[in-house]
Amino acid sequence: MDGYGTVKQETKVTLTKYAICFGIEALIAFLVIWSKGFFTQSTAVNIQILSDAFFVSGVLMTLFAGMLYVSSEGALIGIGFVLRNAVLAFIPMGRAKHERYADYRERKLSEAKKKNDRCILVTGLFFLVIGIVFTVIWYVKFYHA
């Protein structure tokens, strides 16, 4: 019975993460739709607005997922090391806290937790695909070159 409860709890947490990601992307899409005056335009322009809205929210979340992945792999540790040392240079006795880059990198990688943020990427790609579908619909129905 314990194993089933744990699986049920993990599923609930995962669904909550997906719902939050979906809500954020829907909010971004709604703000784009609202800012472009969706209800005052023609059908062709409305499809372009929907394409823009879903594409923008999808690209933003997909890029955010990429940044999270790059950060979790330790690619930004060097930037943190430089910024930390720059700040310590201006603090009295800050140089006493100086550590070598190799030690700093090892410490940061050991402190880093591997998170499963796949929901950000999946929902971002989902919205991106919807934006592409609206673009194809607009191109097929309304583009006359």
Q: Tell me the CA distances in angstroms from 124 to 29, 120, 134, 143, one per residue in order.
A: 12, 6, 16, 27
Q: What percent of the chain has pLDDT over 90?
A: 49
Q: CA 116 → CA 61, 88, 92, 121, distances in Å?
A: 15, 33, 40, 10
Q: Is the pLDDT of residue 96 over 90?
A: no
What pLDDT does residue 145 have? 62
* Mean pLDDT score, 17-34: 96
Contact yes or no for 76/116 (Cβ under 8 A) = no
* Residue 114 reports pLDDT greater than 90: no
Contact indicator for 120, 68 with CB cutoff of 8 Å? yes
> What distance in Å separates the CA atoms of residue 58 and residue 65, rounded to the nearest whole number?
11
Average pLDDT over residues 93-99: 74
Q: Give me the residue spans of the domains in the chain.
A: 1-36+43-72+118-137, 75-111
**CA–CA dist 128, 131 (Å, integer):** 5
CA 62 – CA 126 distance, rounded (Å): 10
Please state the rounded mean pLDDT for residues 28-49.
Answer: 93
